[in-house]
Structure 1
Amino acid sequence: MVVQDERAGNDPEADRLEANKATVLKLMELLLDPDRADQARDYVTPEYVQHNPDIPSGADAIIAFAKSEAGAAARAAMRPSPEPPVMVAEGDFVVQMISRDLPDPDNPGGTYRSYWFDLWRVEDGRLAEHWDAAPKTRGGLGL
């Protein structure tokens, strides 16, 4: 569920917030498709800052991640999302919540639903910065 600003279409600021949410959705769509990941460059700033400890900053780095083995593992975990994302925009920020069904360590063969949050900063219509709660993995992602 994308929380739409009721002023959209009548207010330039509301329209900008809706465009910011659409930019996040488009970037995620492109990064989840390694054949289209190069197009992600159109949706991020040249100085894109990534706060995930395993993914370097910069457009080239997130595109490389999307095409890597680690990116394939991330795609498998993220898709298909059992529920549509929840998105809220305020000022230059967009928060996105997605759900994932993950293997249940207490129930072999079972799964449990987990919710993941991402925060994006938008600058001039492009994504400039990203935060999530991803922990650093041992040895990193090999990028």
Structure 2
Amino acid sequence: MKKQLHKFKKNLISGAMITLAFTTLSVVLPSSSHAQEPVAGVENPDLLFTSSDPKLHANKQVVYHIVKDLLEAGHWELADKYLSKRYLQHNPNAASGLDGVVRYFVEVRKVQATPIPEKMTKPVVAVIAEGDLVTVMYPLPVRDKTTNKLLYTTTWFDTWRIVDGKADEHWDSALKN
């Protein structure tokens, strides 16, 4: 019995020392969330909106103008050139339909038009086109709400379904405001 008690105490002390060592390491060494590689856009995003396949190229060009002319420059008066009348919206903050999405950006978000840039200035990570879908991935900086200090970057995406030369459906990673 005395031998078992001694062994128990020895194991308890050894376990406590191991726990203390791991706790110390977890405080001293950076966690994996701090070791993440930052998400960055490519040098010339315009090149991502091209394809040797004529159909994919046409679809990417529709999305290029949605991103550059509408989202980046705020020229929502041009929306009917790039969005269908029915435009199905899967973002929980904007209504479906051409009128609904225009209203969201113009009246709710109060986007003001700026000159349409010759080349896209919005950072883009990648553009993926398959069939009638085009997905654009962007760097998304996440900041501390009180200090505005950059905490980390992650990735935002928008996906559009192109029908008859216009975006007819849209998905993104937005949460309800």
Find the partner of 1:24 among 40, 57, 63. Answer: 63
* Count of paired positions: 121
Contact 2:50 2:61 in 1 (8 A): no
Contact 2:49 2:61 in 1 (8 A): no
RMSD of aligned alpha carbons:
2.3
Moved over 4 A (4+): none
User: What are the superposed Cα offsets for residues 73-125 of structure 1, whole Å, 9 maximum, x if unpaired?
Assistant: xxxxxxx64x33411111011111011223135x9342122210111101011
Which residue in the other structure is 2:100 paired with? 61
Structure with the bigger RCO (C-alpha within 8 Å, sep 6+) is: 1
Contact 1:120 1:127 in 2 (8 A): yes
Do structure 1's residue 44 and structure 2's residue 90 form an aligned pair?
A: no
Instruction: Specify the code of the residue in structure 2 equivalent to 1:30.
Output: D
Q: Structure 2 length normalisation: TM-score?
A: 0.60
2: CA distance, partners of 1:38 / 1:62: 12
Which residue in the other structure is 2:124 paired with? 84
Which is richer in strand? Answer: 1
Instruction: Specify the code of the residue in structure 2 equivalent to 1:120.
Output: W
Unaligned 5+ segments in structure 1 are 9-13, 73-79, 138-143
Where 2:109 maps in the other structure, the secondary structure is: helix
State percent identity of aligned pairs.
32
Where 1:118 maps in the other structure, the secondary structure is: strand
Do structure 1's residue 133 and structure 2's residue 173 form an aligned pair?
A: yes
Find the partner of 1:70 among 105, 109, 132. Answer: 109
2: CA distance, partners of 1:128 / 1:84: 22
Which residue in the other structure is 1:119 paired with? 159
Where 2:129 maps in the other structure, the secondary structure is: strand
* Alignment CA distance shift 1:69-1:54 (3 Å): closer
* Alignment CA distance shift 1:85-1:59 (3 Å): farther
User: What are the superposed Cα offsets for residues 17-62 of structure 1, whole Å, 9 maximum, x if unpaired?
Assistant: 011111112012232333x211011111111100111100011121
Instruction: Specify the code of the residue in structure 2 equivalent to 1:54.
Output: N
1: CA distance, partners of 2:95 / 2:138: 22
- Kindly state the Cα deviation for residue 69 of structure 1 after the two structures are TM-superposed: 4.6
* Alignment CA distance shift 1:95-1:110 (3 Å): same
Instruction: Specify the code of the residue in structure 2 equivalent to 1:124.
Output: D
Instruction: Specify the code of the residue in structure 2 equivalent to 1:93.
Output: L
Q: Structure 1 length normalisation: TM-score?
A: 0.73
2: CA distance, partners of 1:54 / 1:85: 24
